[in-house]
Amino acid sequence: MSLMRQISWLVLGVVLASLVGAVGLSALSAQQLMQTQLGLKNADNAQSLALALSQQGGDRELIRLLISAQYDTGAYEFVRWRGIRGETLFERVGVAKPGQSPEWFRSLVPIEASPGVAQLSSGWTAIGSVELKSHSSYAHDALWLALRQLMAWLLGVGSVAAVVAWVGLQRIRRPLDAAVAQAEGVLAGSYGQVPEPKVPELQRLTRAMNAMVQRVRDLFEAQAGQLLVLREQVHHDPLTGVSTRQHFLAELDAALQRDDGPAVAGLVLVRLRDVGELNSLLTRGGVDDVLLTIVTALRAYPESVSGCRVGRLNGGDFALWLPAKGVAAETAHALSHALRASLPAFGPGVQVALGAVELPREQPSSVWLGEADAALARAEHLSESRGGFVVEIVADPGVGREQGEAMWRGQLQEAIAKQRGRLVEYPVRDRSGRVLHLECPLQLQLLEGGEPLSATAWLPFAVRARLTSAVDLFAVRLALKAISQDGQARCINVAPASLSDASFLPKLRELLSQWPQAARSLLLDLAEAAATDHFERLLEVGLQLRPLGVKLGIEHAGAGLAQVERLYQAGLDYVKLDASVLLGVAGEAGRAAFVRGMVIMLRSLALKVYGEGVVDEMDAQALWDCELDGITGPWVTASGS
């Protein structure tokens, strides 16, 4: 039983005990008073009757008439005339009248008054005595009426007292409920503060809870700060601050595997030539300044274009990933012009070669690196004869072919209207091999009778045509139908552009309300940018959808989550760590430490942690050692465990 209920029952018990005690005490006092008053009445009436009878000169008939007249007033149980030897000379006796009071009340509160007795005489001669007793039913009726009135007053006062007590309990309960909600929030990963109440005892409790929550929050923020430091140590080059070769290649592999990227992208390689000779010519510090100048030029692109990645592949080689079509050549030439303006200040021996490729994203990373290396080698060969800065561009012959935007829009709208699409299912499994849920990317059949295409082919055009919300609603509808058939939880990716559509959330809520049971087994993946760049929008999504039972999570999550100051307020259920964070975790202790730190930080927010893009068994085992809740990826799908 809850504390407030115990207090409520205690207050109710006290009120009832007071009520019963007051009524009982009043009944007892009234009973004693009635008995005393009735006894005095009997004695007075007996004396009055004896005085009247004594004046009749001993005439028996007149005495009988007066006794009958006294009895007929209806207030007596009996009136009796006894002789000098105690014999009954005349009496009138009747049945006691029940009155208005109930029988149980008369039995519970008996009123027994002694009869009144007075001596009779005729002159100086004693002629006996008169004895009478009044009915007690009149006293019971008066007592019953008085107690009923008292009960009514006490019930009224008790009701008012109960209302006042309830209001007081509610005032006490509010800070207690706030403290309980605060404690439950800590368990759920929320670190809110509660205003201190005016009640001294509760004020101390609230102050202690606030201090504890603040300490936990400080620990979380300190842990997030440590993760950022560890991230810099593990993923970034200590000199330039850009990604190391291993981490950049992991980011490249992860970017090529995603469905939400552009169909065509670019890669630019930059090489500082003859680093060994420059070390002897400019000293190590001078070469470091040259490298930092190159990195400064490269870093301008990730700061202005979302999704760009910069990495240092080795001593003088850098790479720039461009998740957009038709910008690789332009970017390479812009970099060449920027470096041509800044690097000559270090001396005539500084030369840079640039190679750029633009390919379809379905090509494996080995092809990308091979083509880019070939372009860089040709640029470096040309720089030997030309000197200075040389750019070489390679583009896939099929990259330039593209349907018109109007044609794509029409095909997308027709596919959605005719429901030509399907969900491809990839399992997310726990350590025991149990399927936690199915990741379900959408494939659309754009042409009647054609092959369903993955999001890589049509998503960029859906974004451009502002059809992502319609596509996502279609995918959610397919998932809800599938869940209602087999009960298996399914996960749908929601495009960032859909969250920007004001009509998306109302339509999604309406759709989910049509499938209330299936909605409880639906998971929605949101991009990490929703937490890092659009936190208020993320809060709104949680407020709208969580009451319907939908679980929300962040996909492709990396160290950026550690920079979200109010992540504990987002109301998320899970986080999926990006493949770029996890690839190679088995062979790199620092990367494993970073993943373990991310798991600990996210678990402190009561979040489930899953891993994406697992490609081999060694990495899978390392992730289980890091205490992940589940993993997905090519190895999980192929092995079924």
Q: What is the pLDDT of residues 446-468, one digit of tens each?
A: 888 888 888 877 887 788 788 89
Angle of CA points 274, 278, 284, to nearest 5°: 130
pLDDT band at residue 508 using 50, 70 and 90 as cut-offs: very high
> Among 42, 198, 60, which residue's Cα sits nearest to residue 117?
42
User: Taking a C-beta distance cutoff of 8 angstroms, is the pair 473, 511 a contact?
Assistant: yes
Q: What is the pLDDT of residue 107?
A: 79
**β strands within 208-351, DSSP E:** 264-272, 309-312, 317-322
pLDDT band at residue 401 using 50, 70 and 90 as cut-offs: very low
Q: Give 127-145 as a DSSP string.
A: EEEEEEEE-SHHHHHHHHH
> Which percentage of the chain shows pLDDT scores above 70?
87
CA–CA distance, 383 with 389 (Å, rounded to integer): 7
CA–CA distance, 582 with 591 (Å, rounded to integer): 8
pLDDT band at residue 389 using 50, 70 and 90 as cut-offs: low
Mean pLDDT of 127-156: 82
Which value, to the nearest 10 degrees, does the dihedral of the CA atoms of residues 553, 557, 559, 562 take? -10
Q: What is the pLDDT of residue 399?
A: 45
Residue 488, burial from CB neighbour count under 10 angstroms (0-12, 13-18, 19+)? middle
User: Taking a C-beta distance cutoff of 8 angstroms, is the pair 428, 437 a contact?
Assistant: yes
**CATH numbers and ranges of domains, the chain:** 3-159 (3.30.450), 242-395 (3.30.70.270), 405-639 (3.20.20.450)
| Model pLDDT for residues 263-276, shown as the tens digit of each residue | 788 899 998 888 87
Token pair recorded at residue 249: 């290649």
Mean pLDDT of 318-346: 85
Token pair recorded at residue 41: 């009445």
CA–CA distance, 51 with 75 (Å, rounded to integer): 19
Lowest mean per-residue pLDDT among 316-320, 389-393, 528-532, 533-537? 389-393
- DSSP secondary structure code for residue 236 in this structure: B
DSSP H helix total and E strand total for the chain: 21, 19
Mean pLDDT of 135-140: 78
> Among 577, 616, 580, 618, which residue's Cα sits nearest to residue 600?
577
Q: What is the pLDDT of residue 524?
A: 94
pLDDT band at residue 384 using 50, 70 and 90 as cut-offs: low
Q: What are the C-alpha distances in Å from 397 to residues 51, 359, 375, 400, 453?
A: 142, 9, 15, 7, 21
Q: Give 352-400 as a DSSP string.
A: EEEEEEEEETTS-HHHHHHHHHHHHHHHHHHHHHH-SEEEEEEE-TTTT
| Model pLDDT for residues 168-181, shown as the tens digit of each residue | 777 777 777 777 77
Q: What is the pLDDT of residue 470?
A: 93
CA–CA distance, 15 with 161 (Å, rounded to integer): 8
> Which percentage of the chain shows pLDDT scores above 90?
17
The larger pLDDT score, comparing residue 408 to residue 355, is at: 355
Does 367 have pLDDT greater than 70?
yes
User: Taking a C-beta distance cutoff of 8 angstroms, is the pair 431, 393 a contact?
Assistant: no
Mean pLDDT of 290-319: 84
Buried-state track 508-524, b at ≥16 Cβ within 10 A, e below 16: beeebeebeebbebbbb
Q: What is the pLDDT of residue 436?
A: 94
- DSSP secondary structure code for residue 261 in this structure: S
Lowest mean per-residue pLDDT among 105-114, 220-229, 404-413? 220-229
For all residues of the chain together, what is the average pLDDT?
Answer: 82
pTM (2 d.p.)? 0.63
End-to-end CA distance of the chain: 45
User: Taking a C-beta distance cutoff of 8 angstroms, is the pair 134, 63 a contact?
Assistant: no
Indicate if the alpha-carbon torsion angle 322, 328, 332, 333 is positive or negative. Answer: negative
The larger pLDDT score, comparing residue 387 to residue 420, is at: 420
pLDDT band at residue 235 using 50, 70 and 90 as cut-offs: confident
CA–CA distance, 297 with 254 (Å, rounded to integer): 25
Q: What is the pLDDT of residue 260?
A: 66
Mean pLDDT of 248-258: 82
Instruction: For strands 352-360 and 264-272, give the pairing.
Output: antiparallel
* H or E element in which residue 1 lies: none
> Among 177, 215, 216, which residue's Cα sits nearest to residue 195?
177
Amino acid at 173: R
| Model pLDDT for residues 191-222, shown as the tens digit of each residue | 667 777 766 766 777 777 777 777 777 776 66
| Model pLDDT for residues 600-641, shown as the tens digit of each residue | 888 877 889 999 989 889 999 999 999 999 999 889 988 765
| Model pLDDT for residues 511-528, shown as the tens digit of each residue | 999 999 999 999 999 988
Which value, to the nearest 10 degrees, does the dihedral of the CA atoms of residues 491, 496, 497, 503 take? 60
The larger pLDDT score, comparing residue 151 to residue 218, is at: 151
User: Taking a C-beta distance cutoff of 8 angstroms, is the pair 593, 627 a contact?
Assistant: no
Q: What is the pLDDT of residue 262?
A: 72
Lowest mean per-residue pLDDT among 6-15, 287-296, 385-394, 396-405? 396-405
Does 564 have pLDDT greater than 50?
yes
Q: Is 318 left (phi over 0), alpha (psi -120 to 50) or beta?
A: beta
Sheet of 76-82, strand order? 88-93, 76-82, 125-134, 116-122
